[in-house]
A and B are shown apart, each in its own frame.
Chain A
């Protein structure tokens, strides 16, 4: 046997215990080192990710001093874009909620022929490129579109109007609401609905007095997401509604146009949109936290 090797057969109990202890200590140090390395790697990854997202946002604020931003607010381009965006996004959200709530409820509760296809079609605008959505809307509702040419015969023109902005926003933002609403309705225990009906509640009474109040936080969260999506919509809007100040030039379109001339104006609009985005994220987080809290009850 080599001089540096230990003959285990000659060792007593105390020696064996000491060896085992030293072995355990080595394993313990190794696993601690691994844990530290893992935590350090994750921390580094988190810092990189946050920096990647924060840097452009911070750059926006650094590049445009507050007084310049406030001054730009008086620019008619900015005011028109802000007014138009807020008006169209609000109308879009109302439309999406009114249309989407019964669709989401039916999707959550009922099985019917073609349900899978219908649900897929509802989700399609999420993955469809916005520019493609814009062209598709033009082909449907434009003057030469399959529906548009009939409307044109009655003197009704949709493309390149404020209505076209709303239609484009509804098209791209509705899945954000419907998916969230569907999930919220699915989370309402069917036994509650059944209990309400056995207690004399009609389907409609049960919906408004039991299902809706329980699902409300999720529905509001979905509506906020739809509002945010419609506010930021660019591709479908510019293709279907065009880019006319005061009529179809929403805030994202105004940023794009202003960038070619007055950077300060485009920065001002961008900062307003970022501020609104932060508010949206805060509201959604607060509401979804309450959803989980209520679900736990």
Chain B
């Protein structure tokens, strides 16, 4: 379970979020551009620090301003798929996916076996030697996801994981994404603008407005929220 109760002063407003996400639950985070969605993910990942509050994962504090606890990002075991995918351009598909295992000091044999398993499951084994930045958009998305999942994270964060794909690929990926994330049985937060993502992937949704949770409810309730939401082309719902 992920517990968040934090405050952070951003440029134009204060981010104040209190929420809990159960094990295996997929929370869809929606809201306008600039409302603090990516900032929230970065705070949970430890890439930025809240001004005050607490973040705990399965009871283990990752940040606690009162107890002066701050776990560095590399110690949080969080799988993060960035909006740009952030694949290492100087590395192959194989090395990108193996990166998180190498930082953990696994043996070469163990790394080979796990990387092969994940690459085959994602249909990427044949392109394992290609440079990660030279493969197609859909393949990059799968590499980024495989790289995040292979470390067996305690929490998954995905920032607009389908935004870089074309419409047809998005539809195909939604189901695959939901299945792969559910298979991990970890709490997940997915940031999206697209209501189709919310309906197809999430268990629950939160609407963030100027750093605060304005609405929360089941994925099927989102369509009724109306104002404040936009589809992928930036048109209001």
Interface residues of A (CB under 8 A from B): 189, 191-192, 194-202, 205, 209-210, 213-214, 294, 297
Instruction: Indicate whether A200 sits within 8 Å of B134 (C-beta atoms), given known contacts A210-B88, A297-B89.
Output: no
Nearest-neighbour CB distance to chain B for A210, whole angstroms, equals 6
Closest to B84 in A: A191
**Cβ of B90 and Cβ of A199 under 8 Å apart?**
no
Residues of B within 8 A of A297 (CB): 89, 131, 133-134
Within 8 A of A (CB), among B145-178: 147-148, 151
Could you write out 26 A-B pairs with CB less than 8 Å apart? A189-B86, A191-B82, A192-B88, A192-B89, A194-B80, A194-B82, A195-B80, A195-B88, A196-B88, A197-B47, A197-B72, A197-B73, A198-B46, A198-B79, A198-B80, A199-B103, A200-B74, A200-B103, A200-B104, A213-B90, A214-B88, A214-B90, A294-B89, A297-B89, A297-B131, A297-B133
* CB of A216, distance to nearest CB on chain B (Å): 9
Interface of A is mostly: helix
Q: Contact check, A199 vs B151: say whether CB atoms are below 8 A apart.
A: yes
Q: Within B81-101, which residues are at the interface with A (CB < 8 Å)? A: 82, 84, 86, 88-90, 99-100
Chain A residues with CB below 8 A from B189, complex form: none
- Interface pair A189/B84, CB less than 8 Å apart: yes
Most buried by B among A192, A199, A214: A199
Q: How many A-B contacts are there with CB distance less than 8 Å?
A: 68
Q: Which residues of B contact A200 (CB under 8 A)?
A: 74, 77, 100, 103-104, 151
Chain B residue numbers with a CB within 8 Å of A294 are 89-90
20 extra interchain contacts, Cβ-Cβ under 8 A, other than A197-B47, A199-B147, A297-B134? Answer: A189-B84, A192-B86, A192-B88, A194-B80, A195-B80, A195-B88, A197-B46, A197-B72, A197-B74, A198-B73, A198-B74, A198-B76, A198-B79, A199-B151, A200-B100, A201-B74, A201-B103, A202-B103, A213-B90, A214-B88
Q: Which range holds the interface residue count of chain B? A: 20 to 34
| Chain B residues whose CB sits within 8 angstroms of the CB of A205 once the complex forms | 103
List B101-135 residues whose CB lies under 8 Å from chain A. Answer: 103-104, 131, 133-134
B45 within 8 Å of A by Cβ?
yes
Of A195, A198, A200, most B-chain CB atoms within 10 Å: A198
- State how many angstroms separate the Cβ of B147 from the closest Cβ of chain A: 7
> With a CB–CB cut-off of 8 A, which chain A residues contact B77?
200
Question: Chain A nearest CB: distance from B5 CB in Å?
Answer: 22
Please name all residues of chain B whose beta carbon is closer than 8 Å to the beta carbon of A209 when the two chains form the complex. 99
Assess whether A191 is in contact with B103, with CB atoms less than 8 Å apart. no
